[in-house]
Amino acid sequence: MRRFPPKPALALVLALAASGVAAGSLAAKAAPLKITAPARAFQGKVAVVSVNSASFACKLSVRYANGEKLTNMSPSTLQKAKVVWKWSVADFAAAGQAKLTAVCPGAKATKSVIVVGGLIPPRVEVVKKGFSARVKGANENVSYGLVLQNTSPNGNALDVQVLVNFVLPDNHLIGSASSRISIINAHSVYNLGGMLSFTGAPTIARLEVVVDAGGRARSAKVFSPGLDNVHLVPSPFEPSWLGSVEGDLINVHPSLTLSSSNLSCVVFDANGNVLGGGTGSGFFKLLPGTRSFFKIATGLDAIPFNQAATVSMSVIPQYETGA
């Protein structure tokens, strides 16, 4: 005689079987999100990052060692049930441990990657500064000079903004002057000169300088124009005051025509102290290997000629095919 289990027992077995199938399905769906990435990423290179998800809604964020972030990067491709990012590591991304965070619908994962590189962000410091003042009639002209140095060995500073405040003995400001320097090359000095005029004869106690580099770039070979026969010339009308800085500008680029140049200079006394400085421009088109005369006269007439001993110059060239 065939025997059959009681109906309640059969229902229990079927229920357990069904719950097992459901549990298995949930386990499959709950597979943890995992980031696949190289152990090391390199400055200026592209690193490929992926997660085991087929959702283009996934987002990737990167937090560098210095706290800077890249956020909510969308995937670039879908490959075999994986979403893939091409992470462009910036030239000046902070070296050290970076944290990757991937967020997909209902899941999140993190992974640490070491960013490797030798590029050092540019930092512009004021090495020297000084000024000279001269009363002319109802006005006072102040010539100032700054020696700025980019301390990075391999990063150019771009779009450098310089603010010079003129400070009175009571620590109040009497005036401000601003300048923009398009580039200060890696491991180099820029000589910035300028002038400001005041009504009356205020007593300037010191200069207060603020420097801000707006951009940065990997250093590259630079053909800066050559300088020769640079010398100080007294004013033809007032020989006791400096009139100009003159000399020869030479295009040393092997193939490009020099279309123009921005010139800046700082004047020193015999002890190397800054007396002031000035600016000028050169607009002669120079073929490779040719030269032209230059003259800087703006900003110098407040400097006593008998104190001026040496001058340092900086040139930012513009070539016909670009900067």
Q: Same domain for 200 and 282? A: yes
What average pLDDT does the structure give for the chain? Answer: 90
Given strand 35-36, what is the order of strands in its sheet? 35-36, 46-51, 82-88, 77-79
How many CB atoms lie under 10 A from the CB of residue 273?
A: 13
161: pLDDT strictly greater than 50: yes
Map residue 178 onto helix, strand or coil: strand
Residue 26 placed within a domain: no
Residue 15 placed within a domain: no
Alpha-carbon distance of 35 to 73, in angstroms, equals 14
User: Which residue blocks in 201-312 are alpha helix, DSSP H?
Assistant: none
**pLDDT band at residue 3 using 50, 70 and 90 as cut-offs:** low
Residue 34 parent element (H or E): none
Structure tokens that stand for 209 in this block: 């300088």
193: pLDDT strictly greater than 90: yes
Residue 312 placed within a domain: yes
Residue 134 placed within a domain: yes
Q: What share of the chain is helix, strand, coil (3-state, %, to 5)?
A: 5, 55, 35
Q: Same domain for 133 and 270? A: yes
Closest CA to 275 of 246, 306, 316: 306
Q: Same domain for 141 and 249? A: yes
Q: Same domain for 164 and 310? A: yes
Domain boundary among 90, 116, 142: 116
23: pLDDT strictly greater than 70: no
pLDDT in tens, 135-154: 988 999 999 999 999 999 99
Q: Same domain for 82 and 102? A: yes
Q: Same domain for 210 and 293? A: yes
Residue 10 placed within a domain: no
The pTM of the whole model exceeds 0.85: no
Q: Would you state the pLDDT for residue 223?
A: 85
Q: Same domain for 158 and 306? A: yes
19: pLDDT strictly greater than 70: no
Percent of the chain whose pLDDT exceeds 70: 90
- Asked if 296 and 311 count as a contact pair (C-beta separation under 8 A), the reply is no
Map residue 104 onto helix, strand or coil: strand
Q: Could you give the angle at the alpha carbon of 220 between the alpha carbons of 215 and 222, nearest 5°?
A: 105
Q: Same domain for 170 and 107? A: no
Residue 162 placed within a domain: yes
Q: State the total domains in the chain.
A: 2
pLDDT in tens, 27-70: 445 579 999 999 999 998 999 999 999 899 999 999 999 999 99
> CATH number for the domain including 296?
2.60.40.10
Average pLDDT of the residues in 215-233: 91
> Given the structure tokens 């283009």, which residue do they identify?
56
How many CB atoms lie under 10 A from the CB of residue 199?
A: 8
Q: Would you state the pLDDT for residue 117?
A: 86
6: pLDDT strictly greater than 90: no
Residue 136 placed within a domain: yes
- Please state whether beta strands 40-42 and 46-51 pair in parallel, antiparallel, or not at all (unpaired): unpaired
Domain boundary among 116, 150, 176: 116
Q: Would you state the pLDDT for residue 27?
A: 42
Q: Would you state the pLDDT for residue 26?
A: 45
Q: 70 is in which domain, residue-wise?
A: 35-116
How many CB atoms lie under 10 A from the CB of residue 180?
A: 9
Residue 17 placed within a domain: no
> CATH number for the domain including 68?
2.60.40.1930
101: pLDDT strictly greater than 80: yes
DSSP letter for 92, please: T
Q: Would you state the pLDDT for residue 322?
A: 53
**pLDDT band at residue 16 using 50, 70 and 90 as cut-offs:** very low
Alpha-carbon distance of 149 to 160, in angstroms, equals 12
Residue that wins the pLDDT comparison between 17 and 47: 47
Domain boundary among 116, 144, 178: 116
**pLDDT band at residue 24 using 50, 70 and 90 as cut-offs:** very low
Q: Would you state the pLDDT for residue 18?
A: 47
Q: Same domain for 259 and 314? A: yes
Residue 141 parent element (H or E): strand 139-150
212: pLDDT strictly greater than 90: yes
Percent of the chain whose pLDDT exceeds 90: 79
Q: Would you state the pLDDT for residue 30?
A: 52
11: pLDDT strictly greater than 70: no
306: pLDDT strictly greater than 90: yes
Alpha-carbon distance of 267 to 261, in angstroms, equals 19
Q: Same domain for 286 and 193? A: yes
Q: Same domain for 75 and 207? A: no
Average pLDDT of the residues in 198-210: 96
Q: Would you state the pLDDT for residue 5?
A: 53
Q: Same domain for 104 and 160? A: no
Residue 144 dihedral angles phi and psi, to the nearest 5°: -125, 155
Average pLDDT of the residues in 246-261: 95
Average pLDDT of the residues in 102-117: 94
